[in-house]
Amino acid sequence: MKVEITTDKIPKYASGESGDSFEIVERPQGGVSAILADGQGSGKSAKLTSNMVASKASTLIADGTRDGAVARATHDFLFAQKRGRVSATLTLLSCDLRTNTLVISRNTNCPTIVKRAEKTQILKESVKPIGFHNFVKPTIDEIPIQPGTIVIAFTDGIYHSGRKFNNQITLEEIANVASTHQYITDISREILNLGLSKDKNRPQDDMSVLVLGIFSDESKHKPRSVRVSYSY
């Protein structure tokens, strides 16, 4: 099997700097984790917050910390650094080869969509963001690794897109994109385009989409590759 990960993002209209950050890290006991953080507000200050959160989570994962503990420790770090005055959302998508499971850790008001074969599951349990409260824990969902699984996470710029214009995006619309596109790069880009269209191409908040897919891989040699496209 192989894991593919892609992300697309765009800053708030006229902001110039996205307040969302993305990291990817190999797990020391096998597998890979993708991290999506959204700092409070927008612009440079939000970017500093989200980058600090994503970097801290990445370091903890690389050190072998379990995902639930990563989220708690990252919260404690942000709470201590900003004295409870700044919040961030944090989503971790991990393909853990030690347990042979997908681990989805959420500290965000945005649901995560899991599509497997003909079944679509929406993870939307209420959970607090990190940074504000003295004690915060994530929601953790763990599912077996199976080919054909697609996991879609996004920040609130996507989740609330269209709200200003009384045409807010729906989870069904987002899930439908995954059903009508084969490649995760297309899924991620089309969800971003859908959010942009809902906001009339003037995003009202930073928008980010993170998609993880698991696919069969029958090749004899299994090279591991990372490809990056960065526009500025």
The CATH label, of 3.40.50.920, 3.60.40.10, 3.40.710.10, 3.60.21.10, for the domain at 2-215 is: 3.60.40.10
Q: pLDDT tens digit string along 147-160?
A: 999 999 999 999 99
Which amino acid belongs to residue 221?
H
Closest CA to 130 of 161, 167, 92, 93: 92
User: In terms of pLDDT, which residue wins out, 18 or 230?
Assistant: 18
Give residue 118's pLDDT band: very low, low, confident or very high (50, 70, 90): confident
Rg (CA), the chain: 17
**pLDDT, tens digit, for every residue of 15-33?**
888 999 999 999 999 999 9
**DSSP annotation of 220:** S
Residue 120, exposed/middle/buried by CB under 10 A (0-12, 13-18, 19+)? middle
pLDDT band at 221 (very low <50, low <70, confident <90, very high): low
pLDDT, residue 92, reads 98
Closest CA to 141 of 113, 169, 170, 168: 113
Cα separation, 69 vs 67, whole angstroms:
5
Please report the pLDDT score of residue 160 as a whole number. Answer: 98
